[in-house]
Chain A
């Protein structure tokens, strides 16, 4: 049900989706994932309390990767045993080794079944590590290269592959095929994204509102609408774009207003 850009903002939304499942009498369970940093947001306490109070079918999973952006767990949370952060809120906690595929699968499966059966939320803490920086602009001065290397040595993807080979469930060639397949899927997604056209300027206002029915009045004040508001000739001449698709006049002095009239 989407990714969100506000740390902790997804917790109440997940609980609302679980509320809909419960309201409609289904056996659906919502899995809500967030980072260790989100445990310090107000939504964490508010949502765990309300989900427990209303016995909503939701598994809260905190992926404890040891950092909220560049601040280490022990520097941002008084309680670092995050599985216990729901104890006072009526949400029992458990932990899995987030670097171990089978342990994570086993604990989460059990958590989902327990929530489905008992109609009360649980909190699962997955202990893991963020191999890369928080973003492109992260010099990673808050940790050592040795620490990163130690965790990388436990990278769950190769570790799980090796386990499967050791147990004779895959041979080395099959393992390489699966790896290649996964890499090809990602490459194809990147190619699709890079090969897709940019949105047309006239789509700027699309989907701000649902406008299915007859409508009256002004929904948006469109001071930068490229169609309703043609660029001055000199602006077009001064800033030609490579493909002409991203041309939005920059100098808009007089506001223009468009209403969505009754259809």
Chain B
């Protein structure tokens, strides 16, 4: 194991896969000479050259589309988009093409493409750079969606994504790039898609938390234990498609209560989807309604005080867990 930052774990995954497989190449805005907007690709141009690490113009739809074509022709491109909001410029290629070509062509063409992008609030980047849009991609059959919360998962999931034959939307988090964690050194450190990480075991309430919210939920769970004597089980699904529903349902059957924490918008969000699945599959096991803690239903404000309250923090998670236990002593999360 080595301790490294989330961004360096991602960089290590890219470096190892570039070395391992000649078919892997990187494309993206400012990933080469500049070293990446968030420095994930720093040093890769020097090691692998311009054939394999390609700076592109600011043309998101075409960069992703070229990734689709190159993937269909046998390469394994990894496209970096500077933020998830810019992915909306590439939605045609992601949804109409990458996601559906294998189905449209009756399985005769594959699109082993990875599209990486960071999301998340907290840096005062305003409503065009700060959103959490994983639900938009989760909605689309044909895409796989990974949302790593730790350095180890960032590396292991990215390596798995590059080796997968499906198009993968790989969603990183801007606030996690500098966070350190223990990462296995093995070049075969692969994290399977569709297998959740049980962050913390507990018997009183299940908290399912997505992306950065897995860290927020972990701190909230410690607070619940220390201050309220509540043992929360925290689950980080790690991938939204495929989804490890079995682990979530098993936990809910044990705790009989479920809180879902996400940074994105509530309407049609990841939590809405999970709440429906848990309600359909574990209705008889629930002692309280499934509760959501989500980002505020507003464009992300630029103003710092408003941005701070537009996405969940530990107090909202604590309150939601207590409310699910019938012990509400505050206001539940943003609704």
Contacts and interface: CB of A to CB of B under 8 A. Distances in A.
Interface stretch (A18-26, A126-134, A224-232, A238-246): A18-26
A108 interface: no
Given A49-B57, A218-B242, A218-B243, A19 B96 contact: no
Contacts of A1: 69, 72-73, 109
Interface stretch (B189-197, B254-262, B308-316, B319-327): B189-197
B275 interface: no
Nearest to A18: B69
A147 to B, nearest CB: 33
B32 to A, nearest CB: 13
Most buried by B among A11, A209, A212, A217: A217
B72 A9 contact: no
Interface residues of B, number: 56
B199 interface: no
Contacts of B144: 209
Contacts of A221: 277
Given A9-B92, A16-B67, A208 B102 contact: yes
A260 interface: yes
Interface in B254-302: 276-277, 280-281
Contacts of A2: 72, 101, 104-105, 109
A216 B142 CA distance: 16
Contacts of B70: 16-17, 19-20, 23
Nearest to A32: B69
Interface in A1-38: 1-2, 4-6, 9, 11-21, 23-24
Given A12-B64, A216-B192, A219-B241, A6 B96 contact: yes
B72 A12 contact: no
B244 interface: yes
A255 B241 CA distance: 18
B331 to A, nearest CB: 32
A207 interface: yes
Given A20-B73, A53-B57, A209-B166, A15 B242 contact: no
A47 B62 contact: yes
B280 A257 contact: yes
A20 B69 contact: yes
A53 B77 CA distance: 18
Interface size class of chain A, counting residues whose CB lies under 8 Å from the partner chain: 35 or more
Given A208-B103, A254-B280, A259-B246, A6 B97 contact: yes
A23 B52 CA distance: 9
A166 B185 CA distance: 76
Given A215-B194, A218-B194, A257-B277, A14 B69 contact: yes
B107 A207 contact: yes
B242 A16 contact: no
Contacts of A216: 192-195, 242, 244
Contacts of A207: 102-103, 106-107
B245 A218 contact: yes
A46 B57 contact: yes
B244 to A, nearest CB: 5
A15 to B, nearest CB: 5
Nearest to A6: B96
A110 to B, nearest CB: 25
A12 B242 contact: no
A197 interface: no
A206 interface: yes
Interface string B224-257: 0000000000000001011111100000000000
A13 B69 contact: yes
Given A208-B103, A208-B142, A217-B193, A13 B68 contact: yes
Contacts of B66: 12-13, 15-16, 19, 47, 50
A50 B56 contact: yes
B57 A12 contact: no
Contacts of B141: 208, 220
Contacts of A260: 242
A9 B96 CA distance: 9
A21 B75 CA distance: 10
Contacts of B68: 12-13, 16
A125 B110 CA distance: 31
A53 B193 CA distance: 37
A16 B245 contact: no
26 contacts: A1-B69, A1-B72, A5-B96, A6-B96, A12-B62, A15-B62, A15-B69, A16-B66, A16-B73, A19-B73, A23-B25, A46-B57, A47-B59, A47-B62, A54-B54, A207-B102, A208-B103, A208-B141, A210-B102, A210-B164, A216-B192, A217-B244, A218-B241, A219-B241, A220-B141, A221-B277
Interface of B: 25, 51, 54, 56-57, 59, 61-75, 77, 92-93, 96-97, 101-107, 109-110, 141-142, 144, 164-166, 192-195, 239, 241-246, 276-277, 280-281
